[in-house]
């Protein structure tokens, strides 16, 4: 009996090698940091990037035929999670690279940064393959707690501290909502395991749906979906820019993957009950993200609303339901992540007198000062605005197609209109860069950010466009095996 348990444990551990790798790195890294202090930050950053990339590669390699529950059903190893974890790992590595470079340049490097990012990544990995309510919560909190600390990373900076505190307080509220929902679900179904909830769900009644609403609201906060988005602009603005870049990328995908897992796994039978909630969240996110951004003058706040708007697209795909919707959401986020990382790399590339450039006016005449950077940013902006033939267009195309396929015409129309509005501020940024008279000169761009921005642009066009068919197919296969 015990031998059997031990054997199963060993077998299960083999499936969580990416997570184990990261955990091991964090433990060792903490020790190294404790002895080496901030001098070891460089080594740890490099190591974290390496480990994240390896973890991503390992995740991509995990392709069980059918969803494989491990650790007594606490986690599920399946294609969807593997795909999401792979992309999360790469995105986290990229943003970590950006951040390490930035902090090194501004002499603010601290060894905690790579470790916190790695911890957060572990949380995201757990989220992506959570298979019961407990793991869901643990993963979420692990990711969030690391994020709270990261937001307040420049602790001598009032805005950064404020951002961390706000994030934490509101995050705690959201966690409360989520936990309350989880308890209701447990109460009405008698289980925390997704497969068992799924069995009991059809007879769950209104109470179960009520619990699900709370759960969704808690997750919507993490996703920064409207109307649970209000923390986003403040935190994005207050947090150090590399941290904002991190927030804008990987955790969004992790939350989308988690939401997909919850909605389509245990509550797949209740699609008609939750669809309208998701649709409402999607519509609010699309519209609010598009409109309020028009009135912003700070690039980071603008990007916050941009991410709200883009999450709306992913939610719209999820609202379509089924493997089709899940795959569309995954493809959308896979295209969105490099774009947003590229844009943040571009923002990080612009420094003036040792300070980060933060307002839109600072971009004036960038085309004169740094033509290459302006060109990269222009391509990325066009992509995120959804202009063909850039990858962003394809992302919008698959999500809108999924929504129309599920008959969600009104939502698709809202999405299109909101996209037009959002094009207003993306195009305005481009106009500011190319038409307005040049602002004061900028400091030289570091190779890392330039490389990241360049690579992101190459991914946006033509990389992901060429790979689009492959990505779509992979995501569809993954979604089909995970949510049959």
Partner 1 sequence: MEPVLLLAPLFAAAIAGLGQRFLGDRGAMALTTGAVGLSLALSLYTFADYVWLGGEARVIELFKFIDVGGFKSTWSVRIDTLSAIMLVVVTSVSFLVHVYSWGYMAEDPHRARFFSYLSFFTFAMLALVTANDFLQMFFGWEGVGVASYLLIGFWYDKRSANDAAIKAFVVNRVGDFGFALGIMACFFAYGSIRFDEVFASAAANPGLVFDFRIFQVPAIETIAALLFIGAMGKSAQFFLHVWLPDAMEGPTPVSALIHAATMVTAGVFMVCRCSSLYELAPYAAAFVTITGAVTALFAATVGLAQNDIKRVVAYSTCSQLGYMFFAAGVGAYGAAMFHLFTHAFFKALLFLGSGSVIHGLHHEQDMRFMGGVRGPMMFTWAMMLIGTLALTGVGIPGTQFGFAGFFSKDAIIESAFLAGESGRMFGQIAFWCAIAAAFLTSFYSWRLMFMAFEGKFRPNPDAHHDGHAHDDHAKGAHQGAHDDHHHAKPASGAAPAHESPPVMLAPLAILAAGAVFAGVIFAPYFLKDEHNFWRGAIERRHDPLHPPATAAQEPAHYAAPAAVHGAAAGDYTPAAAEAHEAEGGHHVPTWVLWAPFVVTLTGFLLALPIYFFSQTMGAAIARTFAPVNAFLSRKWYFDELYAAVFVKGARALGDLFWKGGDKKIIDGFGPDGFAWMSKFTARMMRLSQTGYVYHYSFFMLVAVAVIGAYAIWQGGAFQ
**Binding residues for partner 1 (CB under 8 A):** 166, 169-170, 173-174, 177, 205-206, 209-210, 212-214, 216-217, 221, 227-228, 230-231, 233-234, 273, 276-277, 280, 288, 291-295, 421, 424
Selection from 113, 406, 419, 86 nearest residue 253 by Cα = 86
Most distant CA atoms of the chain, gap in Å:
76
Cβ of residue 258: shortest distance to partner 1, in angstroms? 19
How many C-beta neighbours within 10 Å does residue 437 have?
7
Closer to partner 1 by CB, 291 or 397: give it: 291
Cβ of residue 138: shortest distance to partner 1, in angstroms? 22
- Residues 133-141: contacts with CB under 8 Å, at least 24 apart: 133/182, 133/185, 133/186, 133/192, 133/194, 133/197, 134/74, 134/192, 135/74, 135/75, 136/182, 136/258, 136/262, 137/175, 137/178, 137/179, 137/182, 139/258, 140/175, 140/178, 140/219, 140/222, 140/258, 141/175
How many C-beta neighbours within 10 Å does residue 217 have?
19
Cβ of residue 221: shortest distance to partner 1, in angstroms? 7
Tokens matching residue 266? 């245990």
Cβ of residue 181: shortest distance to partner 1, in angstroms? 9
**Tokens 């969807």 -> residue:** 80
Closer to partner 1 by CB, 93 or 430: give it: 430
Report how far residue 165's alpha carbon sits from residue 155's, in angstroms, rounded to the nearest whole number: 11
Tokens matching residue 117? 């990012």
Closer to partner 1 by CB, 384 or 442: give it: 384
Task: List beta partners, residue 69.
Answer: 76
Closer to partner 1 by CB, 177 or 471: give it: 177
- Residues 68-72: contacts with CB under 8 Å, at least 24 apart: 68/15, 69/131, 69/195, 70/12, 70/15, 70/16, 71/12, 71/16
Tokens matching residue 125? 């990995």
Cβ of residue 379: shortest distance to partner 1, in angstroms? 25
Closer to partner 1 by CB, 170 or 458: give it: 170
Closer to partner 1 by CB, 122 or 281: give it: 281
Closer to partner 1 by CB, 17 or 159: give it: 159
Cβ of residue 283: shortest distance to partner 1, in angstroms? 13
Cβ of residue 402: shortest distance to partner 1, in angstroms? 23
Q: Is 298 helix (H, G, I), strand (E, B) or coil?
A: strand
Closer to partner 1 by CB, 297 or 473: give it: 297
Selection from 412, 395, 414 nearest residue 471 by Cα = 395
Cβ of residue 284: shortest distance to partner 1, in angstroms? 9
Cβ of residue 298: shortest distance to partner 1, in angstroms? 12
Selection from 256, 264, 271 nearest residue 222 by Cα = 256
Tell me whether residue 206 is exposed, middle or buried, using C-beta atoms within 10 angstroms of its C-beta: 0 to 12, 13 to 18, 19 or more: exposed
Rounded to whole angstroms, what are the CA distances from 273 to 40, 89, 167, 212?
52, 33, 30, 10
Closer to partner 1 by CB, 218 or 325: give it: 218
Selection from 420, 421, 411 nearest residue 284 by Cα = 411
Cβ of residue 414: shortest distance to partner 1, in angstroms? 14
Give the sign of the dihedral formed by CA 318, CA 236, CA 146, CA 23.
Answer: positive
Closer to partner 1 by CB, 140 or 330: give it: 140
Cβ of residue 228: shortest distance to partner 1, in angstroms? 5
Kindly give, in sequence order, each residue whose CB lies less than 8 Å from that of residue 443, ignoring residues fewer than 6 positions away: 351, 352, 353, 354
Selection from 208, 216, 201 nearest residue 282 by Cα = 216
Report how far residue 85's alpha carbon sits from residue 126's, in angstroms, rounded to the nearest whole number: 9
Closer to partner 1 by CB, 7 or 435: give it: 435
């Amino acid at each position: 009996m015990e031998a059997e348990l031990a054997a199963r444990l060993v077998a299960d551990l083999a499936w969580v090698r990416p997570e184990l790798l990261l955990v091991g790195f964090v433990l060792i890294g903490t020790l190294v940091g404790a002895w080496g202090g901030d001098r070891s930050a460089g080594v740890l950053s490099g190591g974290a990037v390496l480990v994240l990339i390896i973890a991503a590669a390992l995740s991509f390699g995990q392709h069980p035929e059918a969803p494989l529950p491990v650790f007594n059903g606490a986690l599920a190893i399946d294609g969807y999670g593997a795909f999401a974890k792979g992309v999360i790992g790469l995105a986290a590595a990229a943003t970590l690279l950006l951040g390490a470079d930035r902090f090194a340049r501004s002499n603010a490097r601290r060894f905690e940064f790579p470790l916190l990012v790695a911890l957060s990544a572990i949380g995201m990995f757990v989220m992506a393959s959570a298979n019961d309510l407990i793991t869901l919560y643990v993963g979420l909190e692990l990711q969030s707690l690391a994020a709270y600390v990261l937001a307040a990373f420049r602790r001598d900076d009032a805005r950064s501290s404020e951002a961390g505190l706000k994030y934490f307080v509101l995050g705690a509220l959201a966690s409360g909502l989520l936990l309350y929902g989880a308890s209701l679900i447990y109460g009405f179904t008698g289980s925390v395991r997704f497969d068992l909830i799924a069995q009991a769900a059809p007879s769950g009644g209104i109470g179960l749906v009520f619990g699900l609403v709370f759960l969704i609201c808690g997750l919507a906060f993490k996703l920064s979906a409207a109307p649970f988005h209000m923390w986003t602009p403040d935190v994005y603005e207050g947090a150090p820019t590399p941290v904002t870049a991190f927030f804008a990328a990987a955790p969004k995908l992790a939350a989308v993957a988690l939401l997909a897992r919850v909605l389509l796994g245990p509550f797949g039978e209740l699609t008609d009950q939750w669809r309208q909630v998701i649709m409402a969240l999607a519509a609010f996110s699309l519209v609010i993200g598009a409109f309020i951004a028009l009135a912003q003058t700070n690039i980071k706040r603008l990007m916050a609303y941009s991410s709200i708007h883009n999450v709306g697209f992913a939610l719209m795909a999820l609202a379509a339901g089924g493997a089709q919707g899940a795959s569309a959401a995954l493809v959308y986020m896979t295209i969105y992540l490099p774009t947003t990382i590229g844009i943040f790399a571009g923002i990080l590339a612009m420094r003036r007198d040792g300070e980060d450039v933060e307002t839109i006016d600072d971009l004036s005449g960038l085309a004169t000062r740094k033509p290459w950077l302006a060109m990269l940013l222009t391509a990325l902006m066009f992509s995120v605005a959804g202009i063909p033939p850039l990858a962003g267009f394809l992302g919008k195309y698959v999500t809108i197609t999924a929504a129309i396929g599920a008959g969600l015409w009104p939502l698709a129309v809202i999405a299109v209109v909101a996209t037009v509005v959002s094009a207003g501020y993306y195009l305005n940024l481009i106009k500011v860069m190319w038409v307005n008279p040049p602002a004061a000169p900028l400091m030289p761009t570091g190779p890392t950010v330039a490389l990241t921005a360049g690579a992101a642009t190459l991914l946006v066009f033509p990389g992901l466009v060429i790979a689009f068919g492959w990505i779509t197919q992979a995501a569809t296969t993954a979604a089909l095996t995970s949510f049959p």
